[in-house]
Structure 1
Amino acid sequence: MSTPAYTPLLRARDLVKEFKQPGRKAFRAVDGINFELAQRETLGIVGESGSGKSTTARIVARLIDPTSGSVEFHGEDVTRRSGAALRDFRGSVQVVFQDPYSSLNPRQTVEQIISAPLRYQGRKATGGYRKVVKEAMARVGLDPDHSDRYPAQFSGGQAQRIGIARALVVRPKLVICDEAVSALDVSVQAQVLDLLRDLQREHDLSYIFIAHDLAVVRQIAHTVAVISGGRVVEQGPRDAIFDDPQHEYTKTLLSAVPRINPAWDSVRTGLGREGT
């Protein structure tokens, strides 16, 4: 009996995104990116500011359209979806943004914020939206009795948990975390990362975790793609990327990380010799 062909949850093929500027040559923010993401795994996407990480994430979530290339979800190209089919896809892929306060409507209560994806999707909630919201709040470690409060009444870590609850309420298959912990204190970062790992095991979630902090990526990612100038310059299993980087750009990123793994010292030393 033949083994069924492997189909990743998500596959990006030759993604290109150009932004047109009046009177100037189009700027290519994403330039032929390819990667795959397996079910129940986390892909870390790393690179410096302006490398194309967030633009890639927005294409995957269909917040913007690619200039060319495709995004396959369960083997189907979703860049061609529109209308109800696109709405269904967006129920399967949710985003947690960098700044928890700017991504939450300050004029809405937590109940309104968390239930918004359900309302957008036109989904009915067993027991009503309020019941579902309270369950979602409890799941991410928030007090369900605070559902009538507003975002400004919560700490940064709590506000980010609201964003996570909002993403999970439609039971997605993929959650894109775009610098989701970079605005948080280190101790709060650890709490949110633990929460994300627990939720991944509990709900069979896949993550795309975008960050410039490689120490954070190493804690949560199974595989890593390193992006520079809109291109993937290196990708592979987490430990291979961190312990034996091959591309000079990856080595440069790692050399800037505070010492966590003694093996990185050889990378730094090698870079230092080359520069003398």
Structure 2
Amino acid sequence: MSDTVTPLLSATALSKEFRTGRKEVFTAVEGVSFDVHRRQTLGIVGESGSGKSTTARMIARLIDPTSGSIEFQGEEITQRSGAALRDFRSGVQVVFQDPYSSLNPRHTVEEVVSAPLRYQKRNVAGGYRRMVKAAMERVGLNPDHSGRYPRQFSGGQAQRIGIARALIVEPKLVICDEAVSALDVSVQAQVLELLVDLQRERDISYVFIAHDLAVVRQIAHKVAVMQKGRIVEQGPRDEIFDDPQHEYTKTLLSAVPSIDPRWDAGRRT
């Protein structure tokens, strides 16, 4: 089967429960299923508390699902641990929302970006410095600044450090968990352009988590809409945006700003 037919990642009936007391259980995600194909971006949207980030952390195996299945490149990964889990993480990396809190402030950029290489115990001829500088240069950072600390960079630059860290192990899938929501609009556009360019160059797939539908429309090929831990609608981007079927999706879209007042009036109607 071709790459466009066989998903890179498949999530089937994923659920996650958290125990909040001796008998109380909170269901954060329930019965979520979706596919992510090679060289494509799946946008997962919804308001705060809809289960987007919990879903992202499950497919990255940062937390374990309560039930359900995750397949990556055709192999079940929900039960992996130890070296097998480390191998999986060489193919899947995460870019987090707040670049400063996700980058160790006590480590230099060189140490931060090379961390996945050390975690995966990769031996690199001549050390990691050459690879770190190449990754920094590709994301638009000055490689001569690899000895600086994250707080010495702007928010947009710090997010580029996070992207460089994700790229250093050449992953197949990058999960962007609200990766541009903390940035101002002009910097958002630059980071989105970088992500799109990297996808074309390296055949990367993305799971792009966001509450901002205007941002998702710029980058996603497919969209899944989450509400209260469930996917209520999913499909190709243009179908979701141009002809939404679920009332919740329509409500989300009605809140997206438009520069065309006629379109805004039509949506409100």
TM-score (norm 2): 0.96
Is contact 1:243-1:263 (8 Å) kept? no
Superposed displacement of residue 127, structure 1: 3.0
Separation in structure 2 between the aligned mates of residue 174 and residue 55 of structure 1, nearest angstrom: 17
Q: Which residue of 2 aligns with 1:164?
A: 163
Superposed displacement of residue 259, structure 1: 1.4
Separation in structure 2 between the aligned mates of residue 188 and residue 117 of structure 1, nearest angstrom: 26
Is contact 1:111-1:148 (8 Å) kept? yes
Letter in 1 for 2:45: V
Q: Residue by residue, what CA displacement relative to the aligned partner does 1:233-262 show, whole Å, maximum 9, x if unpaired?
A: 000000000011000000000111111576
Q: 1:115-130 counterparts in 2 under 5 A?
A: 115-130=114-129
Change beyond 3 A, Cα 1:265–1:235? farther
Q: Which residue of 2 aligns with 1:274?
A: none
Q: Residue by residue, what CA displacement relative to the aligned partner does 1:94-138 show, whole Å, maximum 9, x if unpaired?
A: 000000000000000000000000000001223320111000000
Task: Specify every segment of 5 or more residues in structure 1 that has no aligned partner in the other structure, as ranges.
Answer: 270-276
Change beyond 3 A, Cα 1:39–1:4? closer
Task: Specify every segment of 5 or more residues in structure 2 that has no aligned partner in the other structure, as ranges.
Answer: none
Superposed displacement of residue 84, structure 1: 0.7
Change beyond 3 A, Cα 1:51–1:260? farther
Q: Which residue of 2 aligns with 1:37?
A: 36
Is contact 1:45-1:209 (8 Å) kept? yes
1:57 is the counterpart of 2:50: no
What SS does structure 2 have at the residue aligned with 1:249? helix
Letter in 2 for 1:132: M
Q: Which residue of 2 aligns with 1:28?
A: 27
Is contact 1:126-1:132 (8 Å) kept? no
What SS does structure 2 have at the residue aligned with 1:70? strand
Q: Which residue of 1 aligns with 2:112?
A: 113
1:189 is the counterpart of 2:193: no
Q: Residue by residue, what CA displacement relative to the aligned partner does 1:143-182 show, whole Å, maximum 9, x if unpaired?
A: 0000000001000000000000000000000000000000
Separation in structure 1 between the aligned mates of residue 211 and residue 195 of structure 2, nearest angstrom: 18
Letter in 1 for 2:218: Q
Residue identity over aligned pairs, in percent, reads: 74
Separation in structure 1 between the aligned mates of residue 73 and residue 266 of structure 2, nearest angstrom: 41
Calculate the aligned-residue CA RMSD, in Å.
1.3
Is contact 1:243-1:264 (8 Å) kept? no
Q: Residue by residue, what CA displacement relative to the aligned partner does 1:36-87 show, whole Å, maximum 9, x if unpaired?
A: 1110000000000000000000000000000000111111110011111100
Letter in 2 for 1:32: G
Q: Which residue of 2 aligns with 1:101?
A: 100
Letter in 2 for 1:165: A
TM-score (norm 1): 0.94
Q: Which residue of 2 aligns with 1:273?
A: none
Q: Which 4+ stretches in 1 moved above 4 angstroms?
A: 260-265
Separation in structure 2 between the aligned mates of residue 66 and residue 258 of structure 1, nearest angstrom: 36
Letter in 1 for 2:65: P
